């Protein structure tokens, strides 16, 4: 049997304890820190941020979030909504140019029952998809094969952003 190594997933599998009331969420913590690379923060605008998903569903999985800690769509200003939409479009365009996916899943989970792992801070998921990227591993082995490290993805996309 072959072994697949994905040590960064251990924190997720081990079920890190949820933050205590009053603790910063991981998005806010990353935004408030100065080391964007260490916090997987790829882009900042005055109203939003783009982060690499630490526990990706697929290679290139990004999160687009408002800077403000808001958990409901109706809490966003018109300017925040537009900035977030522009961020989604920009990141998909960058991935089309650099990674050449065949399509995308883009989604927002509203509320814990809907699958939101962080229900207090809105964030859209952008998951690039390629023909043939679905196989038996998730179904039979409960394993996802991610073909690129987070460091390599960060380097690729941050270089593309710098060229814009």
CA distance 158 to 43: 8
- How crowded is the C-beta side of 136, counted as CA atoms within 13 Å? 1
Q: Which helix (H) or strand (E) holds 104?
A: strand 103-108
Tokens 């883009």 appear where?
Answer: 106
User: What is the rounded radius of gyration, in angstroms, for the C-alpha atoms of the chain?
Assistant: 16
Cβ count within 10 A of residue 20? 6
Active-site residue, selected from the candidate residues 61, 121, 123, 125? 123
Q: Are 121 and 71 in contact (CB under 8 A)?
A: yes
> Could you confirm whether 123 is annotated as catalytic?
yes
The 10 Å Cβ neighbour count of residue 50 is: 25
- Residues taking part in catalysis: 123
């Amino acid at each position: 049997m072959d072994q697949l190594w994905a040590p960064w997933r251990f924190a997720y599998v081990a079920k890190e304890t949820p933050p205590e009331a009053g603790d910063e969420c991981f998005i806010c913590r990353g935004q408030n820190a100065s080391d964007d690379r260490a916090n997987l923060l790829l882009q900042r605008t005055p109203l939003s941020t783009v982060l690499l998903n630490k526990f990706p569903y697929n290679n290139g999985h990004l999160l687009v979030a408002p800077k403000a800690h808001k958990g409901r769509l109706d809490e966003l200003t018109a300017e925040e909504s537009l900035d977030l939409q522009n961020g989604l479009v920009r990141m998909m365009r960058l991935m089309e140019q650099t990674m050449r996916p065949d399509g995308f899943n883009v989604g927002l989970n509203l509320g814990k029952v809907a699958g939101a792992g962080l229900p207090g801070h809105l964030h859209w998921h952008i998951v690039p998809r390629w023909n043939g990227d679905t196989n038996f591993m998730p179904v039979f082995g409960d394993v996802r094969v991610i073909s690129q490290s987070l460091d390599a993805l960060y380097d690729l996309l941050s270089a593309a952003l710098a060229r814009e």
